[in-house]
Amino acid sequence: MFRATHFVALLFLAAGLALDCTPSAAQSLIPAGWPIWDSTNQVLFFTSSTPGSVVRGYVDAHQRGADIDIFKDFPNLQEVYADSITAGPDGSTLIYAILEFGGRNVKELILTYDSAGRLVKTWDPSPQNIEAIAYSKDDDAIFVLGGRDLPPGPYAPNFPLLIEYSRDGHVLKTMAPASLLKDRQYSFNSRGQNGQPLLKVTKDHIYLYASTNHEVVMCDHEGVVLAYRNFSEAIEKVSTEDGYHLVQTHQIDFTEEGNLVLELLLWNDGNNSSLMDVVRLTIKSGEAVSVHKSLNSGHLWFVGMMGDQYLYLEHLEAGQSLYIQSAPGQDPQPLIGKPTM
C-alpha cells in the first residue's frame, strides 16, 4: 500500500510546513501534512496519515471549506492515505482513501465530504481499482482512473481504464480501453523513479498518465483518443545529461494543452551532488524543455500547473510560501493571495 506519494509525503512532513500567502507573510496558514494538487479544479489540499491529522484545502492562499477529519468517521482507524483528492460541487470534497484498521483489514473507498467537513457518502467503484479521481464541473461527474486485478495473459478482457460516474456513483460512461497502454492492467505501478498515476479533466479534454512506462493519453469527453505518447526515452535522455541520473520523480501535472510536467530529483555520482529539474514534455512532438533547475536545497518544490503558470512551495525556516513561474527559465515569483472562489 506504500505508494510513491507516501515517500514524498515524508519529505514534506520532515520540513514542518507553515504556509505564508504573501511575500511579507501578512497572513499565515498552517497546512496539515503534505500537498496534493487538484489540477482539474485548481485547489491545493494538504493531508497526513496519522490520527489527529485533517485534510485541508486552499484556493490560492485562502482556505476552502472546513477541515476534514477522516479518523472521527471510522472507529479503530489506524492510518489513512488520501491518495487522490478533488474539489466537488457546492464546496464538497471527494477523497480516494486507503483506510488501514490494522492487520489485513484495509478498505479502499471514495469519501464525499460537504463544505462543513461532514461525511455524506462513501462508495466503492470495484471491481475497478482506483489510481486517481477528478470531479469535472462541466460534466457534473466524477472520473475514476484505474485498472482491474486480472490474471496475466494475452486474453485478459480489454476493460476500460477510465469510468465516468454520476455524483451518486452510477456509471455514466466507460472510456480508454486497457489495450491503449503497453502493459495494460500493469501500467499504473507506482515507483519512486516514475512517480504515480495522474488524471486531469478540462472542458474539452481528458489527460491520463500511466506511470509504469511514462505513457500519456489525451482523449475527448466521448473517450475518443486524440493523442498518445510514451515518454520513457525522453525522460531517460533529459535525466542523464551532464553526468546525472534519475533518482525520483516528485510531482507530476499536465498543462492545459496536455503536455506533461515532472519534477525530477537527479544525482551526479561524479561530484556527489543532486539537482531538482522541472521538465515539460510536449505530447505532440515529444520535445523536452527544462523549466526550472535548482540545487536540491529542499526549499523549493513543484506543486502543479496553475493555469499556464508553474506553482511551487518554497520552504524556509520561517515557513512556506506559494510561488509561481510564468515561463521556462524565469525565476519563480511570490504568489499574492487572491479572493476565495
CA atoms within 13 A of residue 200's CA, in its CB half-sphere: 28
Average pLDDT, the chain: 85
- Looking at residue 66, its amino acid is A
The pLDDT of residue 22: 39
Q: Which of the residues in the chain have pLDDT under 50?
A: 1-2, 4-29, 318, 338-341
Can you give the residue ranges of every domain in the chain? 4-334
pLDDT of 125: 87
pLDDT number for residue 10? 39
The CATH class that applies to domain 4-334 reads: mainly beta
- Residue 219: the pLDDT is 96
For the stretch 222-259, what's the b/e string if a residue is b when 16 or more beta carbons lie within 10 angstroms of its beta carbon?
Answer: eeeeeeebebeebbeebbeeeebebbbbbbbbbbeebb
How far apart are alpha carbons 230 and 152 in whole angstroms? 22
pLDDT tens per residue across span 137-156: 999 999 999 987 666 555 55
> In this predicted structure, what is the pLDDT of residue 320?
64
pLDDT for res 152: 58
Tell me what pLDDT residue 30 has. Answer: 52
**Is the pTM value of this prediction over 0.95?**
no
Predicted local distance difference test score (pLDDT) of residue 52: 85
Nearest-5° angle of CA 160, CA 281, CA 218? Answer: 25
CA 113 – CA 158 distance, rounded (Å): 33
